[in-house]
Copies of this chain bind each other. A is one copy, B any other.
Amino acid sequence: MEAKKIKEADNQSVKPQEKTHSGCVGIIQPVQDALYVLSGKWKLPIIISLTFGNKRFGEMSKEIPKITDRMLSKELRELEMNQLVKRTVYDSIPVVVEYSLTDYGKTLNPAIEELYKWGKAHRQRIMGKG
């Protein structure tokens, strides 16, 4: 499988000659690239689940609150295409499929960590010091 390309539409914008205004376009684009790969409700939950150890389909299905099998399957395939997740089939009987994070997938850790910290603080702020 081949890595999904970065959206064409994100390619537009800013030839080097153009004014970069305050330089913010150079920041926006990579952030949008990241969001594109992580888009949707479930990719980060799946990745997080796998940072806690390799998992089988059924385990993840139980472990990630509210995810449906369809979404799990769909998102795992996308993550695989982007080389963040690896799928290993053991030809035991019955067949067992194990998912794991690739080394590349693990490079998302610092970003996830920051989102986690912010999200935690945000929840506390909103729920009132809970």
Query: CB within 8 Å of B: which residues of A?
Result: 3, 5-6, 9, 12-14, 21-25, 27-35, 37, 41, 44-45, 48-49, 51-53, 62-66, 104, 107-108, 110-123, 125-127
Query: In the complex, are the beta carbons of A48 and B24 less than 8 A apart?
Result: yes
Query: In the complex, are the beta carbons of B14 and A116 less than 8 A apart?
Result: no
Q: How far is the CB of A66 from chain B (nearest CB, A)?
A: 7
Copies of this chain, count: 2
Q: What is the interface of chain A mostly: helix, strand, loop, or mixed?
A: helix
Q: How far is the CB of A90 from chain B (nearest CB, A)?
A: 21
A104–B126 Cα gap in the complex (Å)? 12
Query: In the complex, are the beta carbons of A116 and B45 less than 8 A apart?
Result: no
The answer to whether A116 and B63 touch (CB under 8 A), given A6-B126, A33-B123, A126-B3, is no
